Amino acid sequence: MDFTEQTVSLEENEVVADSASVETIEPLLDNRIIRAIHEMGFEKLSPIQELAIPKLLEGKDIIGQAQTGTGKTAAFGIPLLSRVNPELRKLQAIVLCPTRELAIQAAEELRKIAKYMQGIKVLPVYGGQEIGKQIMGLRGVQIIVGTPGRVMDHMRRHTIKLGDVRMVVLDEADEMLNMGFREDMELILGQMENEHQTALFSATMPKPILDITDRFQKDAELIKVAAKELTIPLVSQKYYKIKREDKDAATVRLLEYYQPKLCLIFCNTKVKVDEVAEMLKKQGYQAEGLHGDMSQHQRDVAMNRFRNGSTNILIATDVAARGIDVDNVEAVINYDVPQDIEYYVHRIGRTGRAGKSGRSFTFVTAKEIFRIREIERTCRTTVEEKKLPGAAKVLKAKADKYLNSAWELHEHEDIELMKAYLQRKMKEEECDILDLAAAMLKLEVGDRGEEIAEDKPVRREAPRGRRGGRGFEEHGDSRRGRDFRGREGRGEGRREFGRENRRDGRGDGKDFEKREDGRRGGRDFEKREEGRGGRRDLEKREDGRRNGRDFEKREERRHQDQETTRSYARENRRDNKDGKKENRWEKYMKDVRQNGEPKRNIKTRKMNWTKKED
């Protein structure tokens, strides 16, 4: 059966697996692996694990379609380690991942599963790390977990030999395609000439994925987790309508109210990641940013700090998030709505793992509500609209946390010395114990914050008097002046309104006289205004004539001055040719004074004369 036929048959008989116990696959596993996964806390298998592990243990090629956070690493890691021979010190398995972080995470997960399998060596290889150091570490390695680009570098250097490779895994294959690794993936798979098993895991199944499976897999079986399993039901999904400029305050508000031990914040741009990280640090939080512009050393430091708990808030972009595989993440905040709907599931999949509950919060503006509806429709889930916790609730939550922590300390620590300090302070200030405790609590939790307004859509009202205007409001419909009866109803409303007005005018003689008086008064006012306007227009015309005559005089004098200047310049040029050096300026000024030239123009004329002399 070819791959296409197998795919159709599997889709027609799609199975939604319930969470099965680990005991169901224990007869198929090595005792050392069973011991390790029990220590890791494995109690139940996820759907992809239950369906994929038996098939891989049988040696079949598979295609696993499941979202991030569904336990794919264990799904291929347990069968992979079962096929590795610890006594053979040669490369036997390759796992390809889209990012450095995901490669590191997968390598660490495999090491945990192989904890009691002596002699198995796992090495992550990725760009950004010194390649000489990696070449030294490749000696005796049985499993390589790496990015396609760096694996290709080692293949060109012949530091990786593929002759004994028994299994190849492509993890997050769709993301590797999006990042442009298709040629590298095909080249790596094409170099393996010996018999081997291929497992491909992807959240989506675009045509390039199907092309790869058709070319490099043999009788592959599609294991597809049902769509309703992809929405991660253990994650509580909420969204908040807030203004763009209030996102920073809303982030702090949620962190203060829910107080998660580990929290991920996702932004769409690298610049925004840096800005949010800096903002949270100023607020006193232990926060780190993670994006592609950071060096490998910086990214490793940030991830290690987040894993060991020294940093409890990590801000990242979607590409960098592919490598974040940290347990016990309690909350995910979508600072920006993801640009791709698939990224939404990848984001919230970082919480609610291993049967634990989690929370996801998404910030949207009033104009972005349609994005939430698209997510709900595509992911077949419901994102609940909520209002941000008020300032009073946040203050209460902070006080409760501080008091609960203090009381836990009271039960386990000796506080007699602290009591002595408090009694001494009470005597000095002559205060009550409750006043002192309240002051200490105030110092710890701070003041009550400001309320954050909801972002509401702006509704544009139609101008009054158009499409019915006041007339429709008087008849009981105030919706932008429109009659709910439609176009015919609007016309009927106008006609009815006009008839009633005419009836009122005919039936009341006093009103008719008042209207006639008003008309006469209006006509008299118009006549008076016409008279005033005539006088004003006459005055304007007279002013224009005077201004026109003055303008003509100024123009005539300007032309005379220009002609005089030109004549003196011509005479001066002739005298210079004949060798005469007379002071023409004195003669010129004498004529100017005779003509009554104003003094303020003399300096300007001298400058013009000097230019002509030059």
Of 430, 445, 460, the position where a domain reaches its end is 445
Give yes or no: residues 363 and 404 share one domain: no
For the domain that residue 65 is a member of, what is the CATH number?
3.40.50.300
Which tens digits make up the pLDDT trace of 400-419?
A: 777 777 777 777 677 778 87
pLDDT of residue 47: 85
Check whether 286 has a pLDDT greater than 80: yes
Given a cut of 50, whether residue 392 has pLDDT beyond it is yes
Helix (H) or strand (E) holding 79: helix 72-83
Structure tokens at 521: 């008064």
> What's the token pair of residue 435?
């006043």
Is 79 in the same domain as 136? yes
Residue 1 has pLDDT above 80, yes or no: no
Q: HEC states along 477-513?
A: CCCCCCCCCHHHHHHHHHHHHHHHHHHHHHHCHHHHH
Same domain, 97 and 145: yes
Rounded Cα gap, residues 147 and 179, in angstroms: 11
The verdict on 409 and 357 lying in the same domain is no
Q: Is residue 265 domain-shared with residue 311, that is, in the same domain?
A: yes
516: left (phi > 0), else alpha (psi -120 to 50), else beta? Answer: alpha
User: 242 with 220, same domain?
Assistant: no
Clarify whether residues 177 and 134 are in a common domain: yes
Residue 208 in any domain: the answer is: yes
Let me know if residue 422 belongs to a domain: yes
Is the model more confident about 460 or about 541? 541
pLDDT at 298: 87
Per-residue model confidence as pLDDT tens digits over 99-153: 888 888 899 999 999 999 988 999 999 988 888 889 999 989 999 999 999 999 9
Q: Which of 389, 410, 428 is the last residue of a domain?
A: 389
- In this predicted structure, the answer to whether residue 479 has a pLDDT above a threshold of 70 is no
Q: Which of 206-210, 244-248, 525-529 has the lowest mean pLDDT?
A: 525-529
Position 531 in a domain: no
In a domain, 521, yes or no: no
506 occurs within a structural domain: no
pLDDT of residue 320: 66
Pair (187, 80) in one structural domain:
yes
Reported pTM: 0.52
The 3-class secondary structure across 7-69, one letter per residue, is HHHHHHCCCCCCCEEHHHCHHHCCHHHHHHHHHCCCCEECHHHHHHHHHHHCCCCEEEECCCC
Q: Which of 185, 207, 229 is the last residue of a domain?
A: 229
What range does the domain containing 210 cover?
A: 3-229
Pair 274, 217 in one domain: no
Q: Is 353 part of any domain? A: yes
Q: Are residues 374 and 429 in the same domain?
A: no
Q: Do residues 401 and 380 share a domain?
A: no
Are 218 and 185 members of one domain?
A: yes
Give residue-wise pLDDT tens across range 147-175: 999 999 999 999 999 999 999 999 988 88
Confidence category of residue 93, pLDDT binned at 50, 70, 90: very high
- Using DSSP's 3-state secondary structure scheme, residue 265 falls into strand
pLDDT band for position 552 (cuts 50, 70, 90): confident
Q: How many domains does the chain have?
A: 4
Tell me the residue length of the chain: 614
Q: Is residue 89 part of a domain?
A: yes
- Residue 338 reports pLDDT greater than 70: yes
Percent of all residues in the chain with a pLDDT value above 90, rounded to a whole number? 24
Dist CA 148 CA 125 (whole Å):
9
Give the pLDDT score at 164: 92
Give, in order, the Cα–Cα distances in Å from 95 to each of 79, 81, 104. Answer: 13, 12, 11
